[in-house]
Chains A and B, each alone.
Chain A
């Protein structure tokens, strides 16, 4: 599926604007997140799972960002969803893409986002006893961490 066809298919299925620059990106409400993942993989042919992460937009809440590619036709697609202020729950893409497993664990580790239906949601980079979520803007770089600092 070419970039143009991908854009048209996304616009008609989700009824949203598809941004084209700098990369094609689409934002959907959180309740359609998993549906978007499935649609990207099964219909649009974006089978390559590149990464998943989040952005803390402070009072506007967290945004989850994932990128998938269609390697055959060289189309990249960025998927986004805004969770809203104070919300830390999001549906998981792991049932769709196995690569989302570790990426969502990292996202949980760093932002505290609870991915529903994730098979094994626990911290991945930090130790299990770590307090707080370091990539939140409210987490200061010099937050004390006894006995080390």
Chain B
């Protein structure tokens, strides 16, 4: 017989001043890496969040001071490993700007093709993992994740045929690209993006008619335009908050001015707006790849002479800040050269670092379950947050 007086009851709903501090992570499945959020709760509602990062820190900025301009590009890909092409791109652009190094037109187009394919692959991974985070609401959870991974594999196959690697490429070098596309690659690439173009329709059908998905994404994690600019979030997050800014159009690099594309903008600033922006970016990336393949000029792929030593490339004194529009926004390198074969100082502006800094501003006031949805909509890659 149970003695009623000894039973202690715990109220599941918050009904008093008591607060609970809860640790999410560092090994939380929704973190997509290693990220710890110390959340303070009143019942189910988050009132404060302290983001703890740095678990993947390798001090790329110090490392870059010890590696030459020939060595570092393939290491740069290890910052944002989900979009390795973009990281390499930002680094070589800075060296080329200080050194006033010409990049052949064909190499510029090849860079654009790879950067846009990378954007598609990165957005596929984001969509799959984000939907999986939001769990059973989306047809058993893993369905759309597996669909997205299936399509992403096709792009990784293309990269493998091009550079021999599937994740970290080393495709860029100061002065051009390391490889030219092999025979039949362009045709294969066209078939792949045509297929993905049709599959994106399928994802949209699945998601945008799903009441659970809409309920979890709409009106959740709203970022105002003012907050977005003040914190410095970039890419789809910034455009989801109504700022019509895309570096590919506003500050073109690598011949982006040659291509016709639209910059999708949404004004609601919630998770759904960010989702809409990225879904539209799939189409634009596909359109850019098609145009680049159509117009791909003949000619050399690099202006760099063959190297006898890794320290052969020397860049005159100077400084530059170059930035590219990565899948997660502005990826930039602020480089200072002292005339030697290595940079004197290099700062990575990782898009994910700035994007993640928005979390303490927008999470308070939401339920715990929304933390996962909001974090996924930010699309952080912790290799780039921690560098």
Contact = CB atoms under 8 A, between A and B. Distances in A.
B349 A71 contact: no
A135 B62 CA distance: 6
Interface string B284-320: 0000000000000000000000000000000000111
A98 B361 contact: yes
Given A55-B345, A98-B230, A126 B354 contact: no
A78 B231 CA distance: 17
Contact of B354 (A23, A99, A141): A99
A9 interface: no
Interface string A42-62: 000001111101011000000
Contact of A99 (B57, B243, B357, B387): B357
Given A65-B334, A71-B243, A74-B251, A48 B229 contact: yes
A22 B53 contact: no
B347 A49 contact: no
A92 interface: no
Given A50-B330, A50-B349, A98-B361, A125 B386 contact: yes
Contact of A53 (B57, B231, B251, B347): B347
Interface string B333-344: 010100000001
A141 B231 contact: no
Contacts of B336: 55
A110 interface: yes
Contacts of B59: 110, 134-135
A135 B61 contact: yes
A102 interface: yes
A22 B386 contact: no
A51 B57 contact: no
B332 interface: yes
A97 interface: yes
A47 B347 contact: no
A50 B232 contact: yes
Interface string A62-106: 000101000100101010000000000000000001110110001
Nearest to B251: A74
Contacts of B251: 74
Interface in A12-60: 22-23, 47-51, 53, 55-56
Contact of B53 (A48, A71, A124): A124
B53 A67 contact: no
Contacts of A98: 227, 230-231, 361
A102 B347 contact: no
B227 to A, nearest CB: 7
A130 B227 CA distance: 32
Given A56-B345, A71-B243, A125-B386, A47 B54 contact: no
Interface in B80-105: 97
Contacts of B245: 71
A22 B42 CA distance: 51
Given A22-B97, A51-B332, A78-B321, A71 B229 contact: yes
Nearest to B244: A71
Contacts of B57: 125-126
Nearest to A53: B347
B353 A102 contact: yes
A48 B232 contact: yes
B84 to A, nearest CB: 21
28 contacts: A23-B320, A47-B229, A47-B230, A48-B229, A49-B230, A49-B232, A51-B334, A51-B349, A51-B354, A53-B334, A53-B347, A55-B344, A56-B345, A67-B321, A71-B243, A74-B251, A76-B321, A97-B232, A98-B230, A98-B231, A98-B361, A106-B353, A110-B59, A123-B54, A124-B54, A127-B54, A135-B62, A141-B66
Given A71-B245, A127-B54, 11 more contacts: A22-B318, A22-B321, A49-B354, A50-B354, A51-B349, A53-B334, A71-B229, A71-B243, A102-B357, A125-B57, A134-B62
Interface of A: 22-23, 47-51, 53, 55-56, 65, 67, 71, 74, 76, 78, 97-99, 101-102, 106, 110, 123-127, 134-135, 139, 141
Those 9 A-B pairs whose CB atoms lie nearest each other, nearest first: A99-B232, A125-B54, A49-B232, A53-B347, A51-B349, A99-B231, A47-B229, A125-B57, A102-B357
